[in-house]
Structure 1
Amino acid sequence: MRRSLAARTALVISALLVVAGCGGGGAKKADPKDPVTIDVAVLAATEFYVIPWLVGQKQGFFTDHGVEVGKIVAGSGGSATLRTQLSGGMPIGEIGYKSVLDAWSEDVPVLAVGGGAQGPYGGDFYALADNDRVNELRDIKKWAYTNPGSSVYALSFLLPQAAGLPTKAERISAGGVGEGAALLEAGTVDVAWLPPSLASRNQGKFKLVVSTSKYITDFQQSVITTSPAYAKEHPDVVRGVLAGWQEAAKWITQNPEAAARIYAEHVDLPVAAATSVVKGAVESNVWNVGFNPAALKRGTDAAVVSGFKGEVKYCEFIDTSYLPGAATAELPTKCGA
């Protein structure tokens, strides 16, 4: 029954991919003097994932490469972002890595053409500030994660494993960020995952217990995706988006305060809190338009913990040929060998 449902879902998404593959301006080429306009879908678009898209949009980096990014549409994370991208006729988006794996495993024609978040930034767990009993990883007996199958759920296993600690503990699905914070306040759990925007806004209320970057380095959280049909029909648009995204990520590292003001305006976040998010992302080197094998392997490990089954054939759903020249383009396996 589960396979049948998954197959039906795949058929629906496949149909949507055909629609997305036919959109985006017909045969029009990406030209800085007459740019192709597209909308994009970005997972958790109030968090750090959206910052390169915002900067590229505001600073004209996409336009310089012949693409005008119109709306940045928020996905709700995971496969929901993929559905948001495809059902809205948006040819390009940034999607959670496991969601792309799941779609590919069900024969959905989705293609990862660029990296996104390739570090553990944003994967931290917090306790209430006045909880004197929980101060470090070994103190945690009850974890709150977002949803089953999420990278946050996987981290609740990968983190103690990386620290050489037992992974046995109680894990509770909060269902959302606000619900996780509510579980903390009710004393139901020891720690909950909180996104950087919420944590930076409430520094006196919560305390950091587990900094994920202390235990995990490379970690593929998201990838920039399109459909094979769209990539084949509009290769210059795909290349233009990736080149603009790369320039935006570089600009952020050089202008974190200016990037923070752009981000703050977008999410209605205090500038100080937005600056904390941007600088944290920059310091962790989270953004990379290219691919590296360590990040992909760790992302795959997390997907397996969250329920993914089967062999991962990276060359079937990742295409590095659209990347800018200076981008890294190494996969865990060689393609075409």
Structure 2
Amino acid sequence: MTVTIGRRGLLAGTAAATVLAPAAQASGEQISVTHWGVLMYGAPYAVAMEKGFFREAGVNITGILTSKGGGTTVRNVLAGGLPYGEVSLAAAVAAAREGLDIRIVNAGAATVADILWVTTPDNPVKTIKDLEGRKIAFTSPKSVTEMLVIMSLTASGIDLNKVERISTGGIGAGLTALRQGGVAAAPIMDPIWAREQGRWRPVFFVKDILPKMTQTVGITTTQFAREQPQKLRAIIAGRRKGVDFTYANPEEAGRIFAEAYELPRELGVRAVKNMVEVGYWSRGEIDTRALDAMVEGLRIIGEVEGPVDWSRLVDRSFLPPDLQATG
């Protein structure tokens, strides 16, 4: 997915690759999280670092390596900091198919409920059905937003030939095209939605149309899992505590998130509350049905071919015992 939101100006640019979080300290260790400083995946890690949950679990995580996503994040996992990272499911599957020695050890973002399509307040388009005969934006070819457009239109019984799908190159560019009348609807997500929701009117939320789909997963190497299993368990446990705290204390978690991402406090709180409402973050449990749902979408856009053998790629043994049940 191409995203053009920055740290302070939410439509100003993307987070640079391999940027350390401000809290990083030389004595601590770093892990990788896709789109840290930009999208919502990183909130539980910010909370876990701030509240000391990683240290309590037995690992001193003080900084985050980040990237624009995809294979770059996987390469960060293999080359920098501790060999653990949260990456898109598409990137994990692609890396495994390329023969890279990785395993999925926990789920991250448990849903695509953060993504919706919006229009201008005065636009006659009210629902997804109204998009027939009109243009709809997505970010880039073979992106998650292209996948979700196709799947949402199809699930709504709309002939794909009756809706012109336009690649705009980014979230900000799509909203600009919408504002200028070039498209009838464009995608948006938090934390941009939390900041700009007064400017737009929702057309459809993906969560109202499609089944639960796992966006991101935690991965590691078999070598790290074999040689430092306790440290791996500690990372997963620390993140879980960050997730639990976020759900229980969204106001405080939002303030921590805002500080870590250098966002206005009220924006961070609003974005976190939006995600709490839809159950955005997994505690780590891996739902193969949600994995399959995302992979089916990736097949539609040509990112995955053939079946995925989760028994070879997924290892639940590093999850806390109560989260290890298969699903």
- Distance in 2 (CA, whole Å) between partners of 1:272 and 1:210 is 25
The 8 Å contact of residues 180 and 192 in structure 1, kept in 2 or not, is answered as yes
SS of equivalent to 1:194? strand
The one-character-per-residue Cα deviations of 1:75-94 (angstroms, maximum 9, x if unpaired) are 21222322333343441111
SS of equivalent to 1:226? strand
- One-letter amino acid matched to 2:58: G
The equivalent residue for 1:225 is 219
SS of equivalent to 1:148? coil
Question: Is 1:210 aligned to residue 229 of structure 2?
Answer: no
- One-letter amino acid matched to 1:320: R
The equivalent residue for 1:159 is 152
Give the count of matched residue pairs: 295
Matches within 5 A, 1:149-298: 149-168=142-161, 169-288=163-282, 289-298=284-293
- Distance in 2 (CA, whole Å) between partners of 1:60 and 1:299 is 33
The 8 Å contact of residues 129 and 207 in structure 1, kept in 2 or not, is answered as yes
TM-score with structure 1 setting the length: 0.82
- Distance in 1 (CA, whole Å) between partners of 2:64 and 2:281 is 18
The equivalent residue for 1:24 is none
**Cα separation, partners in 2 of 1:167 and 1:38, compared to 1, 3 Å:** farther
- Distance in 1 (CA, whole Å) between partners of 2:241 and 2:210 is 26
The 8 Å contact of residues 138 and 165 in structure 2, kept in 1 or not, is answered as yes
The one-character-per-residue Cα deviations of 1:56-96 (angstroms, maximum 9, x if unpaired) are 11011111111111211222122232233334344111100
Q: Which runs of 5+ in 2 are unaligned?
A: 1-26
| Deviation of 1:209 (Å) | 1.2
The one-character-per-residue Cα deviations of 1:198-224 (angstroms, maximum 9, x if unpaired) are 111112222221111111241110001
When structure 1 is superposed on structure 2, of 183-192 and 240-249 the one drifting more is 183-192
The one of 58, 61, 80 equivalent to 2:53 is: 61
The 8 Å contact of residues 213 and 294 in structure 2, kept in 1 or not, is answered as yes
- Distance in 1 (CA, whole Å) between partners of 2:125 and 2:76 is 38
The equivalent residue for 1:133 is 124
The 8 Å contact of residues 79 and 96 in structure 1, kept in 2 or not, is answered as no
- Distance in 2 (CA, whole Å) between partners of 1:329 and 1:37 is 32
| Deviation of 1:243 (Å) | 0.7
- Distance in 2 (CA, whole Å) between partners of 1:222 and 1:273 is 23
- Distance in 2 (CA, whole Å) between partners of 1:176 and 1:86 is 28
SS of equivalent to 1:143? strand
Question: Is 1:144 aligned to residue 137 of structure 2?
Answer: yes
The 8 Å contact of residues 116 and 187 in structure 2, kept in 1 or not, is answered as yes
The equivalent residue for 1:20 is none
**Cα separation, partners in 2 of 1:160 and 1:173, compared to 1, 3 Å:** same
Q: Give 4+ residue runs of structure 1 displaced > 4 Å after superposition.
A: none
Question: Is 1:119 aligned to residue 111 of structure 2?
Answer: yes
The 8 Å contact of residues 78 and 150 in structure 1, kept in 2 or not, is answered as no
Question: Is 1:99 aligned to residue 94 of structure 2?
Answer: no
Question: Is 1:43 aligned to residue 38 of structure 2?
Answer: no
**What's the C-alpha RMSD, in Å, of the aligned pairs?**
1.8
- One-letter amino acid matched to 2:40: F
- One-letter amino acid matched to 2:320: P
- Distance in 1 (CA, whole Å) between partners of 2:50 and 2:78 is 24
The one of 296, 300, 304 equivalent to 1:305 is: 300
TM-score with structure 2 setting the length: 0.85
| Deviation of 1:167 (Å) | 3.1
- Distance in 2 (CA, whole Å) between partners of 1:99 and 1:281 is 23
The one of 299, 313, 318 equivalent to 2:314 is: 318
- One-letter amino acid matched to 2:262: D
SS of equivalent to 1:237? helix
- Distance in 2 (CA, whole Å) between partners of 1:192 and 1:90 is 37
- Distance in 1 (CA, whole Å) between partners of 2:169 and 2:75 is 19
- One-letter amino acid matched to 2:95: A
- One-letter amino acid matched to 1:242: I
| Deviation of 1:188 (Å) | 1.8
- Distance in 1 (CA, whole Å) between partners of 2:80 and 2:180 is 39
Q: Which runs of 5+ in 1 are unaligned?
A: 1-35, 332-337
The equivalent residue for 1:25 is none
- One-letter amino acid matched to 1:293: T
| Deviation of 1:290 (Å) | 0.9
